Amino acid sequence: MYKKFIITTAGVLKFGQVSRHMDLLEPGQDDCCGGGLWENENGTIILFARSFDFGAPDFSRLSRVDWNTLDGQEHPLVYYPSWPDRILAVPIIVGC
């Protein structure tokens, strides 16, 4: 199992420990707005890479975070678009 995330077509960021990004979809769904991998580093959720199933995450579609799929607590979110290089860190602001 791997720490993966997706952004649903409804704009919800969902986290999970799954084999494939497809495993994070609700029954009957077959698409999303991309995804990647995540890690918790000292309380900050680091988002990186891209989904082989759905491609890179489209954060412009993000409207809310389902923290219940993580640990129920809000955390700062940072995306590394050039992973594995950590030259550019993009803070993710939800609902803006």
- pLDDT tier for residue 1 given thresholds of 50, 70 and 90: very high
Give tens-digit pLDDT for 53-82.
Answer: 899 999 999 999 999 988 999 999 999 998
Q: Is the pLDDT of residue 96 over 80?
A: no
Give the pLDDT of residue 19: 95
Bond preceding residue 27 cis, omega within 30 of 0: no
- Please state, in angstroms and rounded to a whole number, the distance separating the CA atoms of residues 39 and 20: 16
Give tens-digit pLDDT for 7-31.
Answer: 999 999 999 999 999 999 988 888 9
- Please state, in angstroms and rounded to a whole number, the distance separating the CA atoms of residues 89 and 48: 10
pTM value? 0.92
Please choose, from the candidates 48, 32, 95, 40, the residue with its C-alpha nearest in 3D space to the C-alpha of residue 73. Answer: 40
Indicate the burial class of 8 (C-beta count within 10 angstroms; 0-12, 13-18, 19 or more). buried
- Please state, in angstroms and rounded to a whole number, the distance separating the CA atoms of residues 23 and 17: 9
